[in-house]
Structure 1
Amino acid sequence: MPPPADLASSWFATRGWKPFAFQRSVWAAVGRGESGLLHASTGAGKTYAVWLGALRAFASSAIGTPRQAAPLQVLWITPMRALAADTARALQAPLDDLQLHWSVGVRSGDTRSAERARQARRLPSVLITTPESLTLLLTRAQAETDFASLRMVVVDEWHELLGNKRGVQLQLALARLRRWHPDLRVWGLSATLGNLDHALQVLLPKGGQLVQGKQDKRLDVDTLLPPDIERFPWAGHMGLKLLKPVSEQIDASSSCLVFTNTRAQAELWYQALLDARPDWAGLIALHHASLARDTRDWVERSLKEGTLKAVVCTSSLDLGVDFLPVERVLQIGSSKGIARLVQRAGRSGHAPGRPSRITLVPTHSLELVEAAAAREALAAGHLEGRQSPRLCMDVLVQHVVSMALGSGFRADELLAEVRSTWAFHDLRDSQWQWALDFVSHGGDSLSAYPDYQRVERHADGIWRVASERLARRHRMGIGTIVSDASLQLKYWSKGGGGKHLGSVEESFISRLRPGDTLVFGGRVLELVRVENMTAYVRRSTARKAAVARWSGGRMPLSSELAQALVAQLDGAAHGRFASPELRAVRPLLEVQARWSALPTLGTLLAETLHTRQGWHLFLYPFAGRMANLGLANLIAWRVSRAQPLSISIAVSDYGFELLSPSPVDWAAYLPGALSTEHLLEDVTASLNAGEMALRRFREIAQIAGLVFGGYPAAQKSTRQIQASSGLFYEVFRKHDADNLLLGQARDEVLREELEIERLHAQLQRIGNLTLDLRELPRPGPLAFALLVEGLRDTLSTEKLADRIARMVADLEKAAERR
């Protein structure tokens, strides 16, 4: 049966749907051969806007048969393997209903070998894959033939790739596809981006359409107010004081997601909910990236079927998986950003016309102000932007070797490809030559080692990988995701082969001894032994256990949310307590105003305090944790040049504490210490930039292929990888100082760890503020949180809790004496 003339409208009619204006715009643009970026809210119908546009444009000319489906027409790029199966189901629905002989396939790290073999013979009509798997496909000798019929590429969740090296890797892969198909249509999909012009330019350097999918999608944001407000809060809580009201909210919902910001927090909340409601066993579940794939698949399937009442999860469920039964979302702790709040809220009401609801659950009192700020910023449409990295030489080196696999490349042709991307559009000839030299003989310092002579130029001018062994090793390392080495977690079995539970980071397991207990996947487990990158465990009845922890746990406060937060405090300083959150936290804000002052949009609040520990300065730029750390080190270094002293530092998202053993005239020093003059030199000198660059170089060395992580059955430990990369770092530093990977490490430290651009912007902003310097008789609510941060480094957890309790009791007594 031939497809109808207007295939897209016909299929919508069979579902009783009416297409939105933005969907029709995309259908028409794809039909005209145009590319673009579609930006619309979560659950608005972006997938069917581009997918039906593709079917409408290509189905009549690429008709398959019951025996053989149409050849490859569409590549669908997804940032997460977890999204692939869900996307495949969504794309399959119109094919079945319209009886189109197109096949849908998935290619990722989870794809079984039999399916890979089928795809090696013939790719499906639409292939859903990740940036890493796409690059692997491009390394095949017959890659150009495999992609000969390709007409369109769809990049789903483009905002998740735009700001990192995976996005740069994808830019390079798209450049190769565009060289083979100059008229290739490329469409990006995104829901939460504040800098759409940049996102469009990076995806489509030669230009394209920006389609805004505006529609009436209601997003309800409320806050679970605690019964008691702490006037002297401190960070580090898991929010479990609100366990009972959270349980009640879950009980009142048919199905909900409970988002946490870390995997450790998810483990604790899941266990606490089960302890509070044993009758929910089997009705609530846990989901995070370290759990076994089978476990995550079961959770996602059960959510779709509506058989789970709640799932405690992390960012592993942030992205576009379609869970129609989910009625609402609870966010434990601050979302730290407006875009993340929107993304997570969109997991509920995930369909056009249905409202999304998210309830914010503060872990301490100050997060009530953040909650009010987030809602106001959201109403004003202040979403965060993401910036694409530039000139990532480690990614370029990896790509050059990848393209030398299979049929190889000609240097001038590959250079033109690379320069067609946004990330490398200003790549200099000298940088390109360095990359060729580095992959062909290891540059100036590694030419004596055969393993770094990876690519060689043949007499016909084609560059190819030198040996099959090096080719095999390179394929195993393709990708830009570098993290702490993971150990598989399995149940102990005398015969081996116990059930696979998931993975934990080596740095966590290395702190445990056999017999110690840990919480993982909602179970208390005892460590039996560690062998061959596998940690064997068994069930334990212990009541206390270490919670598995993973790196990357702290998310920084975004500039947009920070500015909205200061605006809320400014309103309170002028007597405006308009929101329920501000009215609830008013006792805290009144103590802060009485003992010191509240930060405002026109002032920079600074507080001084003398205690038995020494002389304290508390400064509140509200710049985010990393920028505040840079500011604190910068000020301490600049002041210590004029007045030699030892200064210790404590940092939060709101501000920082500088503690010195002797008094400092901060009124005299601060204006000069907050100058933007000589910022780069002073920041570099104020921190152990060499050690930070070494740490960053470890990641760069792995991406560039200098350090091999080992084969699956014999992975190298984190310590081995660190030692190897450290050796390269020292060799380059001493004998190859102009090595571009060294320069990249320094640049990434400044840009990503020290946030030098944000630091500069904050200093410029601070320069326009009036310094409000207050001398405290005792620590106020804002200073108290920073005092606790400083105490963490000097006291054990148990002693810290006792010390904090005594301090809070004393401060509460003082607060009662008006």
Structure 2
Amino acid sequence: MRDPSTTASPSDAAPLQAARAWFSARGWQPAAFQVEAWQHMLAGRSGLLHASTGSGKTYAVWFGALLRVLVEKKKREQGAPPLRVLWITPMRALAADSLRAITLPLADLAPHWTAGIRTGDTPSAERARQDRRMPTVLVTTPESLSLMLSREHAREELAQLDVVIVDEWHELMGNKRGVQAQLALARLRTWNPALLVWGLSATLGNLDEAARTLHGHAEGALVRGHVDKTLVIDTLLPANPGRFSWAGHLGAQMLEPLVAELEASGTALVFTNTRSQAEIWYQLIINARPDWAGLVALHHGSLAHEVREWVEAGLKAGKLKAVVATSSLDLGVDFLPVERVLQIGSAKGVARLLQRAGRSGHQPGRPSRITLVPTNTLELVEAAAARRAAQAGRIERRETPQRPLDVLVQHLVTLALGGGFEVLPRDGAQGGHDAPALLDEIRRAHAYRDLTLEQFRWALDFVERGGASLGAYPEYHRVRIEADADGVLRAGVPDRGIARRHRMSVGTIVSDASMQVKWITGGTIGSIDEGFIARLKPGDCFIFAGRVLEYVRTREMAAYVKRAARNRGAVPVWGGGKMPLSTEMASAVLDLLQGAAQGDDDPVWSEPELQAARPMLQTQVQLSRLPTPRTLLVETCDSREGHHLCLYPFGGRNVHIGLAQLFAWRLSKHQPNTFSLAVNDYGLELLSALPIELGAVLDHSLFDSSRLLDDVLQSLNSGELAQRRFREIARVAGLVFTGFPGAPKSTRQLQASSSLFYEVFRKYDAGNLLLTQADAEVLSQELEIGRLAATLARMQTLRIEHVALPMPSPMSLPLMVERLREKLTTEKLADRLQRMLQELEAGAARAETSLSRPAAAGAASRRRARGAGPAAGAGSRSRAARP
């Protein structure tokens, strides 16, 4: 990184004064980091700006772009200049808000400039006007930028760019959309090596890597925005958290306190982690306060664009009392009227918590506050842990995907469409072509810095000839090599049908096929996963968009509905909804539990959340132990269902899915057995028909990582997982076409098409790198194999604390409930849980009574003297094993 302390030259003084004057006229004072960013941009440096949400990042880089123009005296030009600045936003919903902020200073500082938006929501008439003449500054998305690169005259339209600004880089860099942006930036830098690229980020734990990912091989400045901003993280405490709890257990109890908070505050955002949760809590609030109808709104990504726009406009105008939302409102939309942010349940990550907190007080100098609303008792501990982690700056890292070849294949076709690229005949008898200049360009994208020549050649052959198994099908010969007028070989796409399908498929966001939900009388409400609609019969009711709807029929890939007479219905479930607990959050929770295990004098009991959770924590101590950073709690229990083995690695839900499968497979190798599995963010349960031999647990051999990859693949139905992942890869790579407007393909058609490719490649093209990518993504994304390996390694170092339970403990009960949810209806589960809770409360009361007896106290003292640990309970039968 360059030295960020560079000051402006004397020739830059006048533009800097103009910027200061513009701020001063509005009663503002530029922050030091804003001026620092201006100076870097005036000096011609790219960079990354990291500052908290609502601190003024937008004008730090936007004024830097404007000042460059003032220094060059471009405002003397007659008429609007060509496209000079590209503003990339990760969400369409942010585009209009970004454009408003960008346009505000233009009248005073660059009146000849024009500004516009180009996203998937831009009307065709506006796109046609832009095609005739691009605005000076354009707000767009990674997908729309790729589409611009696919235009025949892309170089002429984009080569004069001076600055590219990538907003919310922390959200983009960790996924394939960020990779798509990296490839686009590499192309733009090839056309203009002097191009300035600036990223805006917040809530990142690995800034240096984020900067390298943004800039590729180029060097850039790193500006850190230090703005004194008050952040308040507090919790709504339940009146009766109880000694036993499970996911969603406290939801109904927290409704009244939540409504009271909304009543006492101005405009508020109520965040949930899933769309299903948002639908449920919106209904709960409206049912509790029917007089708020029209004042409380719902916002998530499956609602129609017009509905979301109406909600956003109502927030900006201060007309809404509250909005129940998902991550669809996480990012930079500026809602100044928002006074309060509430989070239903745990945010599961420090970065997400800070991001959402910044939605309130979204302006320099205004405090931000987020109030956590626990839905189970362990989330009280998570709330206190999140506050401590945020105060300590323990923020999660973001990692870019490595060499995703489906994105590369898509990009090669895009470049071939956008003017083509030069190729050379390949040496050797096998034929084919090389593109050394293009390979160098792609390697300048950080995600492809280690791309091998063989991998690049495979991708080039795949788009040119369909690879080893699709050579006989002309529709997969997407790129054609022909000599131009100068005799130079160039890759292009002459087939107009292939070009059209490709442009309609550009992008990396792949979700399960959705179906539009429409009123039978006309009008679109939004979209729902096709699989959910397929399970409905005419007359069935479901909750969507804050209403109870009655399903009427399906026609032409749309579900037609009407208002239901009933007030209850099924809640849609969308795929990929559950967020795993981050490593930073898990570590912070274990630190708190370590303190709680030390006794009543530990400072952690000063946290109000832990005081509220005390009945549960004390019951856990009475019946078992508390997990700590240095111990691995292992609980066993027998019931009418079978033999329960519970372990608490605190590795997060995704890791525990892999561990549960792995442990069940390893245990059954030594002793044939049948297992049922359950996981949550804290631990995992193995329920078996036959007793489980614990030797491999107690001597740590169950946690061996020497053959981890082979054992994980054998323990899972890895073929099915890889095939499911391949469906997404096939769509991004352009093998599967989702259909033309008005005639989309159904989920069954898409699955059949991708499954056919999967089987063909497995049989006839086993070296196909898209298959390899599918296997790698299953391990890295679905199972988080890196974190799984780290969790196993940590488990090998922990002291085993084994407790044979006389009854389920407060930590094992949530795992049992997770398993029962899969087998029982909501009503049957509620009845079952009520009976279990009565039995558990009675058992806990007996344990508490026995603990108060002197003999029990003496026994507990003797156990501690033997080294069983301060959290050992009088009623527990335990044994400890060390590595």
Specify the TM-score bucket, using the shorter chain as the normaliser: over 0.9
SS class of match (1:357) = strand
2:317 aligned residue = 305
2:421 aligned counterpart, secondary structure: coil
Structure 1 residue 429 corresponds to structure 2 residue 440: no
| Aligned twin of 2:270 | 258
Quote the Cα distance in structure 2 between the aligned partners of 1:201 and 1:490.
46
| 2:367 counterpart of 1:343 | no
Q: Give the Cα–Cα distance (whole angstroms) in 2 for the partners of residues 5 and 663 of structure 1.
A: 76
SS in 2 for 1:220: strand
Q: Is the 8 A contact 2:250 2:377 kept in 1?
A: no
- Write out per-residue CA displacement over residues 293-341 of structure 1, whole angstroms, 9 at most, x where no aligned residue: 1111111111111111111111100000001110010000110100000
- Once the two structures are superposed, residues 474-525 of structure 1 have per-residue CA deviations (whole angstroms, 9 ceiling, x without a partner) of 00000000001121221113xxxx1221111111111111221122211121
Task: Say which of 494, 499, 508 aligns to 1:480.
Answer: 508
Q: Who is 1:672 aligned against? A: 701
Determine the structure 2 residue equivalent to 1:388: 400
Greater CA deviation, 57-66 or 379-388? 57-66
**Matches of 1:787 and 1:243, distance apart in 2:** 25
Partner of 2:829: 800
CA distance in 2, matches of 1:148, 1:440: 27
- Give the superposition deviation at 1:594: 0.7
2-structure distance, mates of 1:9, 1:108: 33
1:108 aligns with 2:108: no
**Identical aligned residues as a percent:** 59
**TM-score, structure 1 normalization:** 0.98
1:741 paired with 2:770, answer yes
Partner in structure 1 of residue 564 of structure 2: 540
- The residue aligned with 2:241 is 229
1:513 corresponds to: 537
1:282 alignment partner AA: G
Provide the residue aligned with 1:769 in structure 2.
798
Determine if contact 1:63/1:101 at 8 Å carries over to the other structure: no
Alpha-carbon offset, residue 668 of structure 1: 4.0
Equivalent in 444, 448, 463 of residue 420 of structure 1: 444
Bigger drift between 527-536 and 806-815 goes to 527-536
Q: Secondary structure at the match of 2:333?
A: coil
The residue identity in structure 2 corresponding to 1:105 is G
Q: Does 1:698 align with 2:727?
A: yes
Matching residue's letter, 1:798: E
Moved more, 639-648 or 373-382: 639-648
Partner Cα separation in structure 2 for residue 91 and residue 142 of structure 1: 27
Specify whether residues 65 and 295 from structure 1 end up closer, same or farther in structure 2 by C-alpha distance, changes over 3 A only.
farther
Q: Distance in 2 between matches of 1:64 and 1:713?
A: 46
8 Å CA contact 2:644–2:687 kept in 1: the answer is: yes
Distance in 1 (CA, whole Å) between partners of 2:566 and 2:75 is 60
In the aligned structure 1, how far is the partner of 2:779 from the partner of 2:572? 31
The change in CA–CA distance for 1:5 and 1:622 in structure 2 (over 3 A counts) is closer
Q: Which amino acid aligns with 2:198?
A: W
User: In the superposition, relative to structure 1, how do residues 156 and 372 fare at CA in structure 2: closer, same or farther (>3 Å)?
Assistant: same
Tell me by how many angstroms 1:149 deviates: 2.0
> C-alpha separation between the residues in 1 aligned to 2:820 and 2:282?
29
CA RMSD of aligned residues (A): 1.5
- Matched ranges for 1:605-620 at <5 A: 605-620=633-648
2:105 and 2:226 map into 1 onto residues whose CA distance is 24
- Aligned equivalents of 1:238, 1:780: Cα separation in 2: 18
Distance 2:490 2:252 in 1: 62
- Cα deviations across residues 26-74 of structure 1 (Å, max 9, x unaligned)? 0000000001110000000000000011111113536468983222111
Segments of structure 1 that go 5 or more residues without pairing to the other structure are: none
What is the aligned partner in structure 1 of residue 161 from structure 2? 150
Q: Matched residues in 2 for 1:358 and 1:492: separation?
A: 40
Using the TM superposition, name which of 517-526 and 49-58 deviates more.
Answer: 517-526
Alignment equivalent of 1:652, drawn from 680, 704, 708: 680
Could you tell me how far 1:121 is from its partner in structure 2? 1.1
Please identify runs of 4+ aligned residues in structure 1 that moved more than 3 A.
2-5, 59-68, 667-670
State the distance in 1 between where 2:235 and 2:392 align.
18
Report the equivalent of 1:319.
331
Letter aligned with residue 133 of structure 2: R
Contact 1:693/1:745 (8 A) holds in 2: yes
Is the CA contact 1:3–1:98 (under 8 Å) kept in the aligned structure 2?
no
For 1:716, the equivalent position in structure 2 comes to: 745
Structure 2 equivalent of residue 559 of structure 1: 583
The code of the aligned residue for 1:272 comes to: L
CA contact (8 A) 1:122 1:146 kept: no
Query: Which residue of structure 1 lines up, in the alignment, with residue 812 of structure 2?
Result: 783
| 1-structure distance, mates of 2:219, 2:694 | 52
Asked if 1:728 corresponds to 2:757, the answer is yes
The secondary structure found in structure 1 opposite 2:146 is helix
Give the corresponding residue for 2:72. Answer: 61
SS of alignment partner, residue 794 of structure 1: coil
Q: TM-score, normalised by structure 2?
A: 0.91
Q: Distance in 2 between matches of 1:776 and 1:142?
A: 72
Kept in 2: contact 1:615–1:659 (CA 8 A):
yes
Q: Name which of structure 1's ranges 660-669 and 640-649 shifts more when overlaid on structure 2.
A: 660-669
Q: Any conservation in 1 of the 2:758–2:771 contact (CA below 8 Å)?
A: yes
Pair 1:451-2:475 in alignment: yes
Q: Deviations over 1:746-791 (max 9, x none)?
A: 0001111111100111111112210111111111100111111222
Query: Which of 573, 591, 595 is 2:619 aligned to?
Result: 591
Give 1:636 deviation, angstroms: 1.4
Aligned partner of 2:30 in structure 1 is: 19
Task: Tell me how far 1:140 sits from its aligned partner.
Answer: 0.9
Q: How does 1:194-343 map to 2 (within 5 A)?
A: 194-205=205-216, 206-237=218-249, 239-343=251-355
Cα distance between partner residues in 2 of 1:186 and 1:106: 19
Structure 2 portions without partners, runs of 5+: 1-12, 423-434, 850-883
**For 2:313 and 2:589, how far apart are their aligned partners in 1?**
38
What residue in structure 1 maps to residue 204 of structure 2?
Answer: 193
User: Which shifted more, 640-649 or 330-339?
Assistant: 640-649
Displacement of 1:529 after TM fit? Answer: 1.4
Q: Residue type matched to 1:79 in 2?
A: P
From 82, 95, 103, the counterpart of 1:84: 95
| Mapped partners of 1:3, 1:140: distance in 2 | 39
Provide the residue aligned with 2:49 in structure 1. Answer: 38
**Contact 2:66-2:110 at 8 Å conserved across structures:** no
2:443·2:451 contact (CA, 8 Å) conserved in 1?
Answer: yes
Alpha-carbon distance, 1:5 to partner: 5.9
Larger radius of gyration: 2
Deviation at 1:4, TM superposition (A): 5.5
Letter in 1 for 2:643: W
Is 2:553 the partner of 1:529? yes
Structure 1 residue 377 and structure 2 residue 401: aligned? no
Contact in 2 for aligned 1:63/1:100 (Cα 8 Å): no
What displacement does 1:571 show?
Answer: 0.9
Question: Could you tell which deviates more after superposition, 532-541 or 771-780?
Answer: 532-541
Deviations 1:131-184, CA, capped at 9 Å, x for gaps: 000000011111111113210000000011101111111110000000011011
8 Å CA contact 1:4–1:10 kept in 2: the answer is: no
Where 1:6 maps in the other structure, the secondary structure is: helix
> 1:63·1:69 contact (CA, 8 Å) conserved in 2?
no
Q: Deviations over 1:355-387 (max 9, x none)?
A: 000000001111101101101111110000110
1:637 corresponding residue in structure 2: 665
Q: Distance in 1 between matches of 2:820 and 2:529?
A: 27
Q: Determine the structure 2 residue equivalent to 1:355.
A: 367
